[in-house]
Chain A
Amino acid sequence: MKHNILFLLTAGMSLLGVTQHVMAVQNGFYLGVDAGVTNLMDKESHSVFPESHQLGDIGASGGGFLGYDFCLSNKTRMAVEIFVDAVGSQTSIKHAGNTYKMNQQYNAGIRLLPAYLFTSSTMGHVILGYANSRFQIKDNGVYGLINTNYNQGGFQTGLGLATEVQNNFFVRVDALYTMYSSSTHQGAGLVDAPAVQSYTNRFSTLAGEVGLYYEFC
């Protein structure tokens, strides 16, 4: 397996060495894949014996995106894209053999990327978008009992750079921060406690992603 990775790396480096083409000032659809790391953060609180925790943990993420890129002026461009990423981030609280887990399963959404061309083949972009994520919270007895999945909407912002590596193939590095609205769900209380435990979670994520995409011109 290691040999395969080294071979792919060597092949990739060789491919990147071919002649470059400048970024054309034209409009077109593009399709890409991305991979990276996502830090899931959660401002968690509950109602019975109230406590609040700022939780977080890091996990891998990856997915794809499809967009349309168009020229605004000689130096500026605008893109609109839809994206979907699978996420494997989970944070937790453990107490006396019980665990309260919060995890993010995927996120999808739409975003705008106003961009500025630094050189003929490299542009920096701002990211402004909407993300909808699937979360799961599961407590088997730390503060109560709950096991629920739900979707939550959030605002996404970020910065990135993209450059053409080969004919119409681009590589891109993005830093993305997404803040989701808070939500409250009811679970069962523990023995000798009120019957209902309310769990409030306000998630946010910071992701660093590398993307490779092809622009159809």
Chain B
Amino acid sequence: MNLFLRKSLVCMVALFSGSAFAASFNNPFACPHFYVGGTLGIATLTDKESTYNPIRDAHSLGASDAIGGVLAGIAFDTNMPVKFGLEAFINATDLEARDNQNYAPITSFKAKMRYNTGLRILPAYEFTPGTEAHIILGYSYGNFNVSDNGNYGIIHQTFSSNGFQAGLGIEAILIKHFLIRTDAIYTTYSSHTANGITTSIPSSTQSYHNRPSTLEGDLTLIYKI
């Protein structure tokens, strides 16, 4: 996404979040409700990976897999259509993207994501009783692993990266206390550079630069107290 689109998105989210937050806390009928939920969905991992020794190789790697986890939060319901939520989440996944060299010596570079956890705010608007749409704005802490057994060098390293999360969703009441929610969430993580070694003799340093991001489509079942 270009810079203008990012700035516009941040402006819109900030405006809506601010008004939702203010409405939630200024309203005398604001009523906090705790909720817990289970999430299941599909996620894609994109990793802009590059190495520099002996020459620059760059790949936009990608993979898709299931993702699932739990969340817990507090919703500030009001007697106005604008509402506000705050929640913590943790998800596990087995996303793995590969570069394979299929001739001797057969080697492989792998980039994996294992889990993400974080906090997010959900300014929401109630369209009809029991149904609301929300914006997602949050912080995500992702755990990644890169390993290479000779494709561009040798490395095996696990690292964590901080990310910014944005998304959209709709939530509807299923039955009393139970809600269903669908979300589309994009998370971009900060880049990480790790040093391995080359396979040449004598070996030298190989730098692996990775910039991961994810796109998730999630379905969540929520129990609201």
* Residues of A participating in the B interface, judged by any CB pair closer than 8 Å: 1-2, 5-6, 9, 13, 16-17, 20, 22, 36-37, 39-42, 45, 49-58, 60, 91-96, 118-122, 124, 158-165, 171-177, 204, 206, 208-210
Contacts and interface: CB of A to CB of B under 8 A. Distances in A.
Interface of B: 1, 4-5, 7-8, 11-12, 15-16, 41-46, 50, 55-64, 81, 96-103, 125, 127-131, 133, 167-174, 180-186, 213, 215-219
Closest 9 CB pairs of A and B: A56-B62, A175-B217, A208-B184, A94-B58, A50-B102, A161-B170, A122-B131, A39-B44, A122-B172
Contacts of A121: 127-128, 131
B216 to A, nearest CB: 8
A204 B63 CA distance: 10
Nearest to A170: B127
B125 A173 contact: no
Contacts of B130: 118-119, 122
Nearest to A3: B11
A165 B81 CA distance: 12
Q: Is the interface of B mostly helix, strand, loop or mixed?
A: strand
Contact of A173 (B60, B99, B133): B133
Given A41-B44, A206-B215, A53 B59 contact: yes
Nearest to A95: B57
A42 B5 CA distance: 26
A16 B57 CA distance: 49
A9 B184 contact: no
A53 B96 CA distance: 11
Q: Is the interface of A mostly helix, strand, loop or mixed?
A: strand
A67 to B, nearest CB: 19
Given A9-B12, A53-B61, A53-B99, A58 B186 contact: yes
A210 B60 contact: no
Nearest to B48: A57
